[in-house]
Amino acid sequence: MNIQEYNSRAWDKAVDEADEWTIPVSPELIAKARGGEWSVVLTPQKSVPREWFGEVAGKDVLCLASGGGQQAPILAAAGAHVTSFDNSARQLEQDRLVAKREGLDIQLEQGDAADLSRFEDGSFDLIFNPCSNLFMPALEPLWRECFRVLRPGGTLMAGIIKPVVFVFDRFEEDTNGKLVVRHSLPYSDEGSLTQEELQRLIDDGQPLEFSHTLETQIGGQIDAGFLINGFYEDYWLNGVSRLSDYMPTFIATRAIKPNA
């Protein structure tokens, strides 16, 4: 299976089903962003600290795997020069919808986040990558490409789901609301589920997921050359995950590409 192509179609389907991460922001939020009052999320609930951004007006920003008519339009309304790069054509259409409705200039690009070869070295001041790398089989190319396309002193912000989430049986939780330890890490839908369970996800058109390790997530950024200088944890929205009743299940990192 070609994971990139499959997950692209799965997220197209999510747009058709009005998944919460595919619903465009309102004109009211765009108006507030134009006036300097705005926030965006890397993880489900917490807003990214504004001090992580500095002054966004005039910055070249890559919203990476961030389509859906949410973060990219907000940052564009705040004055950034935004490129929205996503694997899903329908998610990009949500960005296009808001851009047309609000008169925003957003460049739209479809492709694999691990291949940013269409962009020259040092093209961006900021990369905004909300929780999405759980849909990518390998992270080393992602971090390398992010480092390459950032300018010296540029910032990478990334949302990450903790690998411990994948230890538990997703079907048992969905069916009976119980947290049952089942899987060893690293986890993948392709390699950790039975063929019947995997086929159930495919028949339902759900994106396929990969756990990754914290060493690959955080250590991978460091190995690519980044210096991490920001960190926080977050929870799933109420009722979505039993594990979030007991512990934060997401982290967000801010990393800098050194000047030299």
Q: What is the pLDDT of residues 132-174, one digit of tens each?
A: 999 999 999 999 999 999 999 999 999 999 999 999 999 999 8
pLDDT of residue 241: 85
97-108 pLDDT, tens digit each: 999 999 999 999
Rounded (10°) CA dihedral 138, 141, 142, 147: 150
Percent of the chain with pLDDT over 90: 95
> Which among 139, 111, 110, 135 is positioned nearest to 201, based on CA atoms?
135
Query: Strand 81-86 vs strand 60-64: parallel, antiparallel, or unpaired?
Result: parallel
Helices within the chain (DSSP H only)? 3-16, 27-34, 71-77, 89-102, 140-149, 170-176, 189-192, 195-203, 214, 220-224
Residue 42 and residue 53 in contact, taking contact as beta carbons nearer than 8 Å: no
Residue 19 has pLDDT above 80, yes or no: yes
> Which among 131, 126, 184, 183 is positioned nearest to 152, based on CA atoms?
126
Q: What is the DSSP letter of 187?
A: -
pLDDT of residue 118: 98
Confidence band, pLDDT 50/70/90 cuts, at residue 260: confident
Mean pLDDT of 75-103: 98
Q: What is the DSSP letter of 216?
A: I
For residues 59 and 239, the model is more confident at 59
Torsions phi, psi for 163 (to 5 deg): -65, -25
Residue 130 has pLDDT above 70, yes or no: yes
Mean pLDDT of 44-57: 97
> Which among 52, 48, 59 is positioned nearest to 83, based on CA atoms?
59
Distance CA 174, CA 197 (A): 13
Report residue 150 CA to chain centroid gap: 17
Give the mean pLDDT of the chain: 96
pLDDT of residue 78: 98
Residue 239 has pLDDT above 70, yes or no: no
Residue 215: how many CB atoms within 10 A of its CB? 12
Mean pLDDT of 93-122: 98
Distance CA 199, CA 203 (A): 6
Mean pLDDT of 234-240: 83
Q: Give the CA distances from residue 22 to residues 27, 53, 66, 95, 128, in Å, rounded to whole numbers and listed in that order.
A: 16, 24, 10, 9, 17
Residue 50 has pLDDT above 90, yes or no: yes
Cis peptide leading into residue 186 (ω within 30°): yes
Which residue type sits at 241? S
Distance CA 46, CA 257 (A): 24
Mean pLDDT of 186-215: 96
CA-only gyration radius of the chain, Å: 18
